[in-house]
Structure 1
Amino acid sequence: MTINDHLDTYAGQLVAEFTNEYVIDAEGAPPLPPAGDHAWRVRTEFDETPFNEVWNLFLDTVDTTQISALVIGYWGAEYDEHTADPVALLTGAASRFPKLRSLFLGDIVLEESEVSWIEHTDIGPIFAAFPGLERLDVRGSEGLVFEPVKSDALKTLRFETGGLPATVVRALAASELPALEHLDLWLGTRMYGGDVTPDELAPVLGGERFPALKHLGLENSEIADWLASALAGAPVVARLESLSLAHGTLGDEGAEALLAGQPLTHLRKLDLHHHFVGDALVERLRAALPGVEIDAGDQGAAGRENRFITVSE
């Protein structure tokens, strides 16, 4: 799987798009909907109008004081004629977004950039500039800097990567996020920087770091069997409502570990889609968890040599 389509909805709202079309031909660009009724995506295109010009026109054209959800799309890259630092632009305009609660940084699809080539900087200033932020999604990890942060408002944090650096997970484990309910980590592969080890994940799995956590996703991982074994005895699982090992390389070993571990009957959903578990073990999971919604779709052929994660390069 690759990421081929931009978001249609985000944070419960339809996405309205503001692109370089408005800079190139404002008169011919589509009419703009009411600012407060949509999530807004701002982006440019390869070797087209510099992102900062699109961004500045967006600030001047749309009533950003009404926006609660913002999506940042393609902002350029080092191989592009122009590039920008979206974090610097965002934080520099923080006072223009008093209602912002949800931010997606990097809604960039395959035709614009491979996920592991999306170039980031330090995202820490976002938390200081937007203390009321309740949701942050980040796609890509090249150059990503994330230091320990403190937020009493953040409820959802998601990293979509082909390889999540251990430095990010260590910083997350040292962060103070008492309201965090939903955490998704696409751990990826070592080939693209995914070097997370058991030591980095231990504070998350211990359950004390994020007392409000209800959903945990350890996804798109080449170590899915190890993750299943760790989750089988992880204290955090007992209070979760949903658990995901989707998009990864889960096989029979991992499924056996889930069956042999702590009860999972309290879960509402167990998401395993894109996996390499045999039919017999899938049926054993369903029989052992009759009240749990189990997504076991996109089943690959059994055998360790056949396994792959869905998003890497």
Structure 2
Amino acid sequence: MTVNNHIEEFHGLPVFDFVAAVYEGAELPEPDAVAWKIGVEYDAPKGWVERWSEFLAAVDPGRVTAVVVGEWSLDGPESFDEPLAAIIGAADRLPALRGLFIGDITYEENEISWIDMVDVTPVLTTFPLLTELVVRGASDESVEGEGVLLQPVRHEHLRALRFESGGLPAAVPRAVAASELPALERLEFWLGVQSYGGDVTLDDLAPFLDGARFPALRHLGLQDSELQDEIAAAVAHAPVVARLESLSLSMGVLTDQGATALLEGQPLTHLKALDLHHHFLSEPMQERLRQALPGVEIDLSEAGKPDDQHRYVAVAE
């Protein structure tokens, strides 16, 4: 998964670009047959909120199950406040909404560090039946009162939660850890780098490793980190791993040191999948992983040079 291309599928449905379809005069699909993407291009004649209103008028919003929010600024990075308010304001017209992806914006449109995100807690409090939420972007810590993307919340139905950032503030995992999410099955954090606001520490991740929270959790992703070796070492002895079906430590600066810690820790043979793509492992270590975990689907793609002195995470700026 990268930010180089727009997503083509979300919430188990193909993504359908509503604005492009209107521009081309294309026939619209059934409301529940696709994940509807609403986004505006640079210097477009209409803004995001106006396009959102057109979308609600063009389809039966009561049958829409998934929405993908694309670029919302016509002339550069702007906060997500107005689009968020528009989505929240239409909640009574979207009773079937179960999946929301905020920020399907590629590098070509905006650097991920330029996607100014706001507190998305209202999404969860306004849509109590939502089952999947993905948030891409960075918090604008230069604005007073900003810098936090989530507040602790209780949500009975959320099954999948992912925050994608080139520099995730520690306040986000802390808020998730303080939340009550009894149905949560998939949790992923793109942690990013310190130079873009990523200040998450191992202590901030500890609540997700001890196994006491989120009893339904089956997939954990702690990804895109400069601390990937240290995270791998912590995961190696984490109680939560025993009940996971899949684990992702991808996109970061994982080296032989971290992989060795994984293999010397608790058994991982029960996993269905182990995602380590974008790594800096030697060929012998990659082979050792394959031999040690013969029944596990291991993603070792995007290999960097193990001796590279300038190791980098997959997503930062």
Q: When the two structures are superposed, what TM-score results if normalisation uses the length of structure 2?
A: 0.93
Q: Deviations over 1:16-42 (max 9, x none)?
A: 1122774xx6xx532212212111001
Looking at structure 1, the residues matched to 2 and 263 of structure 2 have their Cα atoms a distance apart, in angstroms, of 31
State the 1:118 CA deviation. Answer: 0.5
- Secondary structure class of the residue paired with 2:40: coil
Q: CA separation of 1:213/1:2 partners in 2, compared to 1, >3 Å: closer, same or farther?
A: closer
2:60 to 63, 67, 79: 63
Looking at structure 2, the residues matched to 4 and 58 of structure 1 have their Cα atoms a distance apart, in angstroms, of 26
- Secondary structure class of the residue paired with 1:111: coil
Pair 1:19 & 2:19 matched: yes
Are 2:268 and 2:293, in contact at CA under 8 Å, matched by a contact in 1?
A: yes
Match runs of 1:37-186 below 5 Å: 37-48=33-44, 49-76=46-73, 79=76, 85-143=82-140, 144-186=148-190
**How many residue pairs are counted as aligned between the two chains?**
309
- Secondary structure class of the residue paired with 1:263: coil
Q: CA separation of 1:77/1:115 partners in 2, compared to 1, >3 Å: closer, same or farther?
A: farther
Q: CA separation of 1:80/1:225 partners in 2, compared to 1, >3 Å: closer, same or farther?
A: closer
State the 1:211 CA deviation. Answer: 0.8
- Secondary structure class of the residue paired with 1:265: coil
What corresponds to 2:9 in structure 1?
9
State the 1:63 CA deviation. Answer: 1.1
Stretches of structure 2 that go unaligned for 5 or more consecutive residues are 141-147
State the 1:203 CA deviation. Answer: 0.7
- Secondary structure class of the residue paired with 1:35: coil
| Bigger mean CA offset, 196-205 vs 80-89 | 80-89
Q: Deviations over 1:34-64 (max 9, x none)?
A: 2121110011112321111111111111111
Q: CA separation of 1:46/1:184 partners in 2, compared to 1, >3 Å: closer, same or farther?
A: same
Looking at structure 2, the residues matched to 80 and 247 of structure 1 have their Cα atoms a distance apart, in angstroms, of 25
Looking at structure 2, the residues matched to 82 and 252 of structure 1 have their Cα atoms a distance apart, in angstroms, of 40
Looking at structure 2, the residues matched to 83 and 219 of structure 1 have their Cα atoms a distance apart, in angstroms, of 24
- Runs of 4+ in structure 1 over 4 Å off: 80-84
- Secondary structure class of the residue paired with 2:135: strand
Q: CA separation of 1:290/1:81 partners in 2, compared to 1, >3 Å: closer, same or farther?
A: closer
- Secondary structure class of the residue paired with 2:25: coil
Fraction of identical pairs, as percent: 51
Looking at structure 1, the residues matched to 167 and 265 of structure 2 have their Cα atoms a distance apart, in angstroms, of 28
Q: Deviations over 1:263-299 (max 9, x none)?
A: 1111111111110011111111122112111111111
Match runs of 1:114-263 below 5 Å: 114-143=111-140, 144-263=148-267
Are 2:191 and 2:222, in contact at CA under 8 Å, matched by a contact in 1?
A: yes
Are 1:286 and 1:294, in contact at CA under 8 Å, matched by a contact in 2?
A: yes
Amino acid at match of 1:243: L
Stretches of structure 1 that go unaligned for 5 or more consecutive residues are none
- Secondary structure class of the residue paired with 1:37: coil
- Secondary structure class of the residue paired with 2:291: helix
Are 1:116 and 1:162, in contact at CA under 8 Å, matched by a contact in 2?
A: yes
- Secondary structure class of the residue paired with 1:36: coil
